[in-house]
Amino acid sequence: MTRVSVHFELFSSSFCGACAQTRMLLETAAGVIPESRLTEHDVAFEPDLAEELDIAATPTVIVRNGEGREVVRASGVPTMDQILRAAALAMD
């Protein structure tokens, strides 16, 4: 099993253009950050999870460390700089 140091979770919806932008940025980041992964959750298909995690808007990104602890949460389209800073926090 591969060790994960950074886990990006994207909460999206199919009609959300900003979600597509966010997905592309996160895919790029996950491609260059060793031991990282990206999981996308469509809130229409996973409403219980979205409710459990208090997801109020799409896109919402949760960044977790290797132990699964949430270190950053943000709504809206992030910049690559914001994504990389969040990843650095997760790796501390």
Residue 8 burial (CB count, 10 A): 26
**Local confidence band at 2 (pLDDT 50, 70, 90 cut-offs):** low
Residue 45 burial (CB count, 10 A): 10
Q: Cα torsion for 46, 21, 81, 42, to the nearest 10°? A: 0
pLDDT digits (tens, 9 = 90+) for 69-89: 999 999 999 999 999 999 999
This prediction's pTM: 0.93
Distance CA 26, CA 24 (A): 6
Largest CA distance in the chain: 35
Domain ranges of the chain: 6-91
pLDDT digits (tens, 9 = 90+) for 9-60: 999 999 999 999 999 999 999 999 989 999 999 999 999 999 999 999 999 9
Radius of gyration of the chain (CA): 12
Pick the CATH number of 6-91 from 1.10.357.10, 3.40.50.720, 3.40.190.10, 3.40.30.10: 3.40.30.10
